[in-house]
Amino acid sequence: MLTQQKTPIVIKLQKQLCFSFLLSTIMFCSLYFFSFNKASAQILSPELQACYETAQARYACFMKQREGALERAKARETLRRSIQEAKEELRTELFNRSKKLREKDRKEIMKQVEISRSRNISHKGEKYSLNFGFVIEVEP
């Protein structure tokens, strides 16, 4: 008897077929499940049904939902403006504080420079002297 050996191409095709069948089964099951849930979630309450019976009922429900909206909008606007003003105040305060710190550091550095110049000390801590005019070098 001849035994047929499966080639790698046949094995690959079988795996792809099995995977596509499994994927399509999962898709159809999930589609059925979610469509059933959507249909069951569409049940309207008696209050909502009353709102959609006539145009006057729809308008009454609309006005009931919008009741106090202007006051809430005004409150949100005042809150937004107060937050914006507080942020601006903090921003200017931080800018002025950093400016004062830079000025203070600059003054401190200038004091140290003046002190080091008066003592003839370099920034490395070594003593030096300023000679003006000709410098006479001693030859050996």
At 122, give phi and psi (nearest 5°).
Answer: -80, 175
The model scores a pTM over 0.75: no
In angstroms, the CA 49 to CA 58 distance is 10
Residues 25 and 19: beta-carbon distance below 8 Å = no
In angstroms, the CA 102 to CA 96 distance is 10
Counting other chains too, the contacts that 42-50 makes at CB distance below 8 Å and 24 or more residues apart are none
Choose the most confident range, by mean pLDDT, from 1-5, 35-39, 93-97, 121-125.
93-97
- pLDDT of 103-132, one tens digit each? 999 898 888 877 766 766 666 666 665 555
Report the pLDDT value the prediction gives residue 52, as an integer from 0 to 100: 84
What DSSP designation does 5 have?
P
Q: Which two tokens stand for residue 57?
A: 């009922």
| CA dihedral sign of residues 79, 85, 91, 94 | negative
The pLDDT of 30-52, averaged and rounded, is 71
The pLDDT of 87-93, averaged and rounded, is 93
- pLDDT of 3-22, one tens digit each? 566 677 878 888 888 888 88
In angstroms, the CA 60 to CA 74 distance is 23
Amino acid present at 87: K
Report the pLDDT value the prediction gives residue 135, as an integer from 0 to 100: 55
